[in-house]
Amino acid sequence: YPKLLLESSEAPEWQLQSHDGTWHRMKQKRWSLMIFYPGDDTPGCTKQLQDAQAHLEELNGLGCDVYAINPADQTSHAAFAEKYGFEFPILTDRGGAVSRQFASTFSIPLKTWVIRTVYLVNPKRTIRLANRGAPATAAIVRSIQALQQATKDGL
């Protein structure tokens, strides 16, 4: 596996289209939770994104946008979002360029796999959390709260 991007490093810029046809990019003045996941409508991915959906209101209240990212097409993402009621953008990374920028792919001859990876990026595009797997969204919420408090207190 490639090494994760380092916490405290600058997140790469990106622009991707979502399941509903809108275009998205990381916004200034907002936090971004980026969830790179292997496949639509698979047990592990569904559970991970359902956890994000369950905390979406709280994340949005903290000024955090959620983005789920993988290379599947818009039709697959739209069906997945509708089936489970996901209210955040599921972004199509055709060709996997953004996933590669975020060290979230593993290649073998003739096949590239998305590695389940999560990044939390602050409003200044600084990576504040980099994790393989599916960390609990409640823990990510607590991380945002702690980081926001530390910044407010000048730490």
Q: What digits encode the pLDDT tens for the residues 110-125?
A: 788 999 999 999 999 9
Decide if 132 contacts 104 (C-beta within 8 A): no
At 143 the pLDDT is 96
**DSSP codes joined into one string, 63-77:** TEEEEEEES--HHHH
Residue range 138-152: mean pLDDT, rounded: 93
CA distance 11 to 34: 11
The answer to whether the pTM exceeds 0.85 is yes
Q: What is the pLDDT of residues 11-70, one digit of tens each?
A: 999 999 999 999 999 887 899 999 999 999 999 999 999 999 999 999 999 999 999 999
Q: Examine the pLDDT at 155 and tell me if it is beyond 60.
A: no
Separation of alpha carbons 134 and 4, rounded Å: 14
Residue 101 · residue 14 · CB < 8 Å: yes
- Reference 123, options 140, 106, 95, 148; nearest CA is 148
The pLDDT tens digits of the residues spanning 81-137 come to 999 999 999 999 998 999 999 999 998 887 889 999 999 999 999 999 999 999 999
